[in-house]
Structure formats: structure tokens, C-alpha cells
Amino acid sequence: MNSSSSSLSSDSESFARGRHAIVAGAGGFIGGHLVKSLFERGYESVRAVDKKPFDQWYQFDERAQNLVMDLEKLDACHRACEGTTDVFNLAADMGGMGFIENNKALCMLSVLINTHMLIAAKDAGVERFFFSSSACVYNADKQRDTDVTALVEADAYPAMAEDGYGWEKLFSERMCRHFREDFGIETRVARFHNVYGPNGTWDGGREKAPAAMCRKVLEAQMSGILSIDIWGDGEQTRSFMYIDDCIEGIHRIHDGEFTEPINLGSSELVSINELVSVVEEIADVSVERSYDLSAPKGVRGRNSDNTLIQAVHGWEPGTSLAEGMRKTFQWIRGEMLQRDIDKVQPALPFPAAQDEQLEVFPGADERWRGLRESA
């Protein structure tokens, strides 16, 4: 059974009525989309928090109370959680495989965010807490073949997670469980599998494979040098979930009653070479492929088993790779063209953060207080 990711169920709208949400990591790719969807689903107010200054946010919604705060610090988490009913914690220091393989300590430090957010949520009387985990929690021994058996939730144990990033996510999953058991916070955990789509990272070293392949093919096409580099031999396999499906899944898991970690990913398995072929077809071009066997490449194969999410929520991500990549390609193409224009005529600067710890969008505090008082 499946349903459109863009549809807004009456149950979801009913759940959201009168609720006040915070999105931690709102300046990121998924967080920006989530803020917008919370308003669409009828949340009374949304507090959007990120460590990055506003001009580095991927999306900026003026309806939200937008704050620049470092959620590794407990006092910032207390401020962020004040007056909220629902926490969506997407905040983490992460990126694609090149980033997480070379920044293990930075990835591990994200444990401070979820730990402090849980403490602050408990102290603030938050009703429900959503944590974005990752397929990187899964045992590496189960991901050594390209023709991989899709990963079921139980495959996280015995534990052998992705070094650094995966271990932080697995530990934080346990923290959510124990805060639910010991303090009664309704925690929900989704294990994301490779999310992609518009308004995400596409260059700079933190981008994931779908965006990287779009950029590389576009650069080759624009330059006339029709060759690209691919990390590994290109036969490593993955599934990739389009952003609209991810947002729909977040709401279903958050709003539902299932409390254990659950996969949120597409079950459409492809190799990196097949991913490049999809982009070539969209771009109507053929490129020569050069393989860098020394580059970071992650596990050999990974796919999402969606048996549990189908059983619990009657749904699974349904956007095909071809459809999602076409939309992503067109967006990245537009961004690259705009970047070239900005080199000639720079865009007006976004107001810079005045305080390293806190920046509030003008009028946000007053609007937030008014919404709380009228609720």
C-alpha cells in the first residue's frame, strides 16, 4: 500500500492542531523542507533552529521563529525547547561518505546535541520527540556484497556500526529509548537511507552521491570535457530516497504509536554506475567514467527492507529514482547557472548573525509569544 507524499491526511492535520514544534537542524536540507511541511499540516507555530548563520540556511521560512543557536550546549537546548510540544531533532554534523570517513570525531560530537535536547525536552515537558537516525547504524558485516540482502531493523545488532557517525546515531537511539522508558517522553526514531532532492548540498564536500553525480555530469556537459570521476569501482549499491517521501515518512512515524527504530528509505537498489546512467539519460549526454579506487566508498551494498514500515504505517517511499533524479538534476542545473551569474553580479548579502549564540528573526519572539498565549 502506498500514498502520495504530497497528500495531507486528515489524521495528520488533526494531530497537528494546537501543537508547537521545534525543528533542530532547520537550516539543513531535510530540516528546511520539514519546517514548511509543519505549517502545511497545521502546526500552530514552528521554531526553526540551526547553528549556521542565516545566509547558510538552505531554506528560510519567515513564518517560523528562526534562531541561530549551538545545540551542543545545554542552555541553548533549554531555550530551544521552551514552550514546545514536539521536537524534531535533525541536527548533526554530517555529510556524504567523503565527509564522514574523514571527520569521525566531529560526527561523534553530535551526541551532545541529542543528549542535551533530550534533557531539555524532559525539563520542558515536551510530549513527543523525533530523532533522525541513519542506516549507518547497521552491522557492516551484513553490507559486504553488492547484491545485498535488504536490511531489517534487527540487523543493527550485534553492533558494528559505521565508525564515528554510525556509532553516534546508534548511541543516540538508545538514549531515546531510555528517556522514553525512564521519563515518559514519547520518542520516535527513523533510520534514514540516503535522502536526496532539491534544496540540498550539491558541492563543497558534504554532498551525497545523487547530487554529486548531477553536478559532475553537468560540469562535464557545460565544459565540453565529457568525463567524470567516480569513487570506487561504481559497482557499490545503494537505495536513494527522494525528499518528499522522507518528509511524509517523518510525519507518519512521528504521529504514529510505534516506538522502536524503523527504516525510512527506498527499496529500489541501484549501483553507482546505474545512478550515473540515470543522470546521463536526463542530461541527454554520455560521459567517460574514471574510477578512483582509493577514494572513500563506504560499505559495498546497502538497501532498506520496508516490511516493517509497510506493516506499521501501511506505506513506504514510492518516488522512483528516475523521477526524483530528474527533479534534482533540474534544480542543481539552475543553482549552477545562478552561481555563474552571481560571479558577475553578486547577490545582495543576507543579514549576518550578530550573536554567535542567538539570532532571532525580527518580530519572531513577539509572534511566538502571541501564538502561545492564544493557544
Catalytically annotated residues: 165
Alpha-carbon separation of residue 291 from 202, 233, 272, 282, 283 (angstroms): 20, 6, 11, 22, 21
Give Rg (Cα) of the chain: 20
For residues 120 and 81, the answer to whether their CB atoms sit within 8 Å is: yes
For residues 128 and 256, the answer to whether their CB atoms sit within 8 Å is: no
Q: Give the count of beta carbons closer than 10 Å to the beta carbon of residue 74.
A: 15
Alpha-carbon separation of residue 155 from 158, 262, 303 (angstroms): 7, 11, 12
Burial code (b: 16+ CB inside 10 Å, e: under 16) for 141-170 equals ebbeeeebebbebebbeeebbbebbbbbbb
Q: Give the count of beta carbons closer than 10 Å to the beta carbon of residue 293.
A: 9
